[in-house]
């Protein structure tokens, strides 16, 4: 893996990515772009094949870990008991899942293994940039004429997965729920859901996008509907399960436990509560100690690690992460983060700190890349790379395209 810079930007590239749905590249006037127009990470064909093989093997290991976690080895995973039982029931029913994204660090040295940092298997975003923007960038820069290739079949895999999920239905209909505009002012969640809906439409599924707060429970019929009164039989929701099952303020958590089955199909299914929980990392390390793709990880304790990263079991986008790596001179902690103020140790996982490789550049001097590998039905189907200035890949990272070339 190497990082190359491409200083000749595309004419009108900012408008292009906006029209493609990357409306969240800039969050406020004067902000720097999340989309990196000027650099890409280049892999050899052998490296790319290895990334695919390793990712698919790790996915199988994660599914094996579900059985272990469902046994109660880690209690109820920080979930209410009814939610834990709901996840077990969903797993036992083999409810079909849709997608996921692994986050790996990789040294960039051919032959070195990927190292699993986490599995975003419930609500991964970043689809617009991974499935569309980097492919368009590659095509418009005419990089094929320079001997470069590109790996990515995310959109095609999404469509095929919807065909598989709805294969037994003659006129399938699907609601897709997203957060409302007050939470998502730059339409990141909405546009990611729109792309998933588009893939479903290509598979012959009739779709309807709705804000998640417009899902209504009908007391008389004990069923769910949208604001127009249309029944919800199949629901894709870009909203974390752990938030759904703890929504005691509205009372929807109890309705969900009692009438979960009133919706025929949930995507993602409830058993994704096992894979989206960072206790998965500790479970994997117990099951596969010293596996080359894994990093030592322990539930609620450092396990004797000198250099560690402390992660909340439900944390996302770098929230609540503390880095304590004295051997590398790195200490990072947001004292104002609510995770540090309120959460007990049982809600954290300690993972050995693995330094991300450092790539220098003229336009961005410091770049630490993280590989995001997209999984659909057990297959690795594409990749997106986020690079950060510091040790934590957070809201301020950049998305860089990837290429394939000897």
Instruction: Give the Å distances, CA to CA, from 367 to 110, 148, 295, 370, 404.
Output: 19, 22, 22, 10, 19
The encoded tokens of residue 283 equal 């479970």
Does pLDDT of 362 surpass 80?
yes
Whether 130 and 263 map to the same domain: the answer is no
pLDDT at 340: 57
pLDDT at 152: 93
Whether 162 and 247 map to the same domain: the answer is yes
Q: Which residue has the higher pLDDT, 28 or 4?
A: 4
pLDDT at 339: 58
pLDDT, one tens digit per residue, over 95-139 is: 999 999 999 999 999 899 999 999 999 999 999 999 999 999 999
Separation between Cα atoms, residue 96 and residue 209, nearest integer Å:
21
Residue 167: count of CB within 10 angstroms of its CB: 9
Q: Averaged over 247-255, what is the pLDDT? A: 80
Q: Averaged over 176-185, what is the pLDDT? A: 94
pLDDT at 341: 54
Does pLDDT of 287 surpass 60?
yes
Whether 22 and 114 map to the same domain: the answer is yes
Q: Averaged over 137-155, what is the pLDDT? A: 97
Whether 120 and 176 map to the same domain: the answer is no
Specify the pTM.
0.95
Whether 335 and 286 map to the same domain: the answer is no
Whether 136 and 96 map to the same domain: the answer is yes
Name the domain boundary from 309, 325, 352.
352
Whether 249 and 284 map to the same domain: the answer is no
The residues that bridge with 115 in the sheet, in sequence order, are 105
Does pLDDT of 342 surpass 70?
no
Domain count, the chain: 3
DSSP string, 159-174: HHHHHHHTTT-SS-EE
Whether 108 and 233 map to the same domain: the answer is no
Instruction: Give the Å distances, CA to CA, from 195 to 82, 156, 198, 312, 380.
Output: 33, 11, 5, 29, 19
Separation between Cα atoms, residue 79 and residue 84, nearest integer Å:
6
Q: How confident is the model at residue 390 (pLDDT cuts 50, 70, 90)?
A: confident
Whether 378 and 251 map to the same domain: the answer is no
Does pLDDT of 336 surpass 70?
no
Query: Percentage of the chain with pLDDT > 90?
Result: 84
DSSP string, 174-221: EEEEE--TTT-TT-HHHHHHHHHHHHHHHTT-EEEEEEGGG-EEETTT
Q: Which of 288, 342, 347, 259 is nearest to 76 (CA)?
A: 347
The mean pLDDT of the chain is: 93
Whether 122 and 12 map to the same domain: the answer is yes
Whether 97 and 205 map to the same domain: the answer is no
User: In sequence order, what are the residues at sequence separation of 6 or more whose Cβ sits closer than 8 angstroms to the Cβ of residue 328?
Assistant: 307, 353, 355
Whether 256 and 278 map to the same domain: the answer is no
What domain range includes position 331? 291-352
């Amino acid at each position: 893996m190497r990082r190359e810079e491409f200083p000749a930007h595309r004419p009108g590239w900012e408008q292009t990515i906006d029209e493609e749905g990357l409306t969240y590249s800039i969050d406020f006037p004067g902000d720097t772009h999340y989309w990196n127009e000027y650099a890409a990470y280049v892999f050899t064909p052998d490296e790319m094949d290895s990334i695919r093989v390793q990712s698919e093997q790790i996915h199988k290991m994660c599914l094996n870990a579900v059985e272990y976690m469902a046994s109660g080895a880690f209690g109820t995973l920080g979930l209410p008991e009814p939610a834990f039982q709901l996840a077990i029931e969903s797993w036992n029913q083999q409810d079909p899942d849709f997608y996921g994204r692994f986050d790996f660090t990789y040294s960039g040295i051919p032959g070195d293994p990927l190292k699993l940092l986490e599995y975003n298997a419930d609500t991964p975003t970043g689809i617009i940039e991974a499935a569309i923007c980097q492919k368009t960038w590659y095509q418009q820069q005419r990089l094929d004429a320079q001997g470069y290739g590109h790996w990515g079949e995310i959109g095609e895999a999404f469509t095929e997965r919807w065909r598989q999920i709805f294969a037994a239905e003659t006129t399938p209909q699907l609601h897709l729920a997203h957060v409302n505009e007050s939470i998502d002012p730059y339409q990141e969640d909405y546009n990611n859901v729109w792309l998933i809906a588009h893939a479903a439409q290509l598979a012959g599924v009739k779709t309807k996008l709705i804000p998640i707060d417009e899902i209504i429970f009908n007391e008389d019929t004990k069923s769910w509907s949208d604001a127009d009164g249309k029944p919800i039989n199949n629901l894709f929701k870009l909203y974390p399960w752990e938030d759904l099952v703890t929504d005691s303020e509205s009372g929807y958590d109890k309705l969900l436990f009692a009438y979960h089955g009133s919706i025929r199909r949930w995507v993602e299914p409830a058993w994704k509560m096992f894979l989206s929980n960072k206790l998965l990392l500790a479970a994997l390390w117990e099951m596969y100690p010293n596996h080359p793709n894994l990093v030592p990880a322990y539930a609620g304790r450092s396990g004797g690690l000198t250099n560690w990263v402390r992660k909340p079991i439900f944390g996302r986008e770098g929230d609540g992460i503390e880095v304590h790596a004295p051997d590398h001179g790195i200490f990072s902690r947001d004292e104002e983060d609510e995770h540090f103020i309120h959460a007990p140790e049982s809600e954290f996982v300690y993972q050995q700190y693995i330094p991300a490789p450092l790539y220098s550049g003229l336009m961005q001097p410091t770049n630490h890349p993280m590989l995001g590998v997209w999984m659909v039905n057990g297959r690795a189907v594409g990749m997106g790379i986020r690079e950060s200035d510091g040790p934590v890949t957070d809201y301020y990272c950049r998305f860089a395209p990837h290429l394939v070339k000897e």
